[in-house]
Amino acid sequence: MKFVDEAKIRVEAGDGGSGCVSFRREKYVPRGGPDGGDGGDGGDVYLLADENLNTLIDFRFERFHRAERGENGRGSDCTGKRGQDLVLSVPVGTRAVDEDTDEVVGDLTQHGQKLMVAKGGFHGLGNTRFKSSTNRAPRQKTLGTPGEIRSLRLELMLLADVGLLGMPNAGKSTFIRSVSKAKPKVADYPFTTLVPNLGVVNPEPGRSFVIADIPGLIEGAADGAGLGIRFLKHLERCRVLLHLIDIEPFDGADPVENATAIIAELEKYSPALASKPRWLVFNKTDLVLEEELQEKMDSIIEAIGWEGEVHCISAYNREGTDELAKQILYFLDTLPKDSDEEEGEQKVEFKWDSYHKSSMEESVVVEEDFDDDDDDDWDDDDDYDVEVIYER
Ligand SMILES: Nc1nc2c(ncn2[C@@H]2O[C@H](COP(=O)(O)OP(=O)(O)OP(=O)(O)O)[C@@H](O)[C@H]2O)c(=O)[nH]1
Ligand SMILES: [Mg+2]
| Domain annotation for the chain: domains and CATH numbers | 4-157+343-366 (2.70.210.12), 162-319 (3.40.50.300)
Q: Which residues are annotated as a binding site?
A: 166-173, 191-195, 213-216, 283-286, 314-316
> Which residue is closest in CA terms to ligand 1's atom 16?
186
Q: What local confidence, expressed as pLDDT, does residue 209 receive?
A: 86
Pocket of ligand 1 (CB under 6 A): 166, 168-174, 186-188, 190-193, 215-216, 283-284, 286-287, 314-316
Ligand 1 pocket: which of 169, 193, 218, 311 to mutate (most atoms within 8 A of CB): 169
Q: How many CA atoms lie within 13 A of 181 on its CB side?
A: 5
Distance (Å, whole) CA 118 – CA 139: 32
Give the residue, 2 or 274, on which the prediction is more confident. Answer: 274
**Least-confidence region, from 53-62, 79-88, 247-256:** 53-62
Q: Tell me the pLDDT band of 4, cut-offs 50, 70 and 90.
A: low
Buried b (16+ CB within 10 A) or exposed e, 363-385: bbebbeeeeeeeeeeeeeeebee
Q: How many CA atoms lie within 13 A of 117 on its CB side?
A: 37
Q: Which residues contact 121 (CB under 8 A, 6 or more apart)?
A: 13, 14, 15, 16, 41, 42, 70, 144, 145, 146, 147, 148, 356, 359
Give me ligand 2 centre to Cα 255, in Å. 18
Read off the pLDDT of each residue in 330-334 and give the average, rounded to a whole number.
Answer: 88
**Is the pLDDT reported for residue 11 higher than 50?**
yes
Q: Tell me the pLDDT band of 2, cut-offs 50, 70 and 90.
A: very low
DSSP state at residue 308? S
Give me ligand 1 centre to Cα 329, in Å. 23
Distance (Å, whole) CA 4 – CA 6: 6
Q: Which residues contact 252 (CB under 8 A, 6 or more apart)?
A: none
Inter-residue contact 13 to 147 (CB < 8 Å):
yes
- Helix and strand numbers, DSSP H then E, in the chain: 7, 17
DSSP 108-163: --STTEEEEEEPPPPPPPPGGGG--SS-SS--EEEPPPPPPEEEEEEEEE---SEE
> Which residue is closest in CA terms to ligand 1's atom 21?
169
Inter-residue contact 119 to 16 (CB < 8 Å):
no
**Least-confidence region, from 52-66, 191-205, 255-269, 365-379:** 365-379
Read off the pLDDT of each residue in 28-55 and give the average, rounded to a whole number.
Answer: 84
Give me ligand 2 centre to Cα 189, in Å. 9
Distance (Å, whole) CA 300 – CA 282: 10
**Is the pLDDT reported for residue 390 higher than 50?**
no
Distance (Å, whole) CA 18 – CA 52: 39
Give me ligand 1 centre to Cα 247, in Å. 11
- Closest-CA residue to 89 (of 29, 123, 48): 48
Ligand 1 pocket: which of 165, 173, 322 to mutate (most atoms within 8 A of CB): 173
Q: Tell me the pLDDT band of 189, cut-offs 50, 70 and 90.
A: confident
> Which residue is closest in CA terms to ligand 1's atom 1?
284
**Least-confidence region, from 227-236, 308-317, 373-382:** 373-382
Give me ligand 1 centre to Cα 249, in Å. 10
Q: Which residues are annotated as a binding site for Mg(2+)?
A: 173, 193
Q: What local confidence, expressed as pLDDT, does residue 386 receive?
A: 37
21-35, 76-90, 133-147, 356-370: range with highest mean pLDDT: 76-90
> Which residue is closest in CA terms to ligand 1's atom 11?
188
Q: What local confidence, expressed as pLDDT, does residue 24 receive?
A: 84
Overall pTM > 0.80: no
Q: Which residues contact 169 (CB under 8 A, 6 or more apart)?
A: 188, 189, 190, 192, 216, 246, 249, 250
Q: What local confidence, expressed as pLDDT, does residue 338 receive?
A: 57
Q: What local confidence, expressed as pLDDT, does residue 46 receive?
A: 92
3-7, 68-72, 229-233: range with highest mean pLDDT: 68-72
Inter-residue contact 27 to 81 (CB < 8 Å):
no
Ligand 1 atom at minimum distance from 164 CA: 19
Give me ligand 2 centre to Cα 246, in Å. 13
Ligand 1 atom at minimum distance from 313 CA: 31
Read off the pLDDT of each residue in 150-178 and give the average, rounded to a whole number.
Answer: 85
Inter-residue contact 33 to 136 (CB < 8 Å):
yes
**Is the pLDDT reported for residue 105 higher than 80?**
yes
**Is the pLDDT reported for residue 327 higher than 80?**
yes
**Is the pLDDT reported for residue 26 higher than 90?**
no
**Is the pLDDT reported for residue 265 higher than 90?**
no
Give the residue, 280 or 111, on which the prediction is more confident. Answer: 280
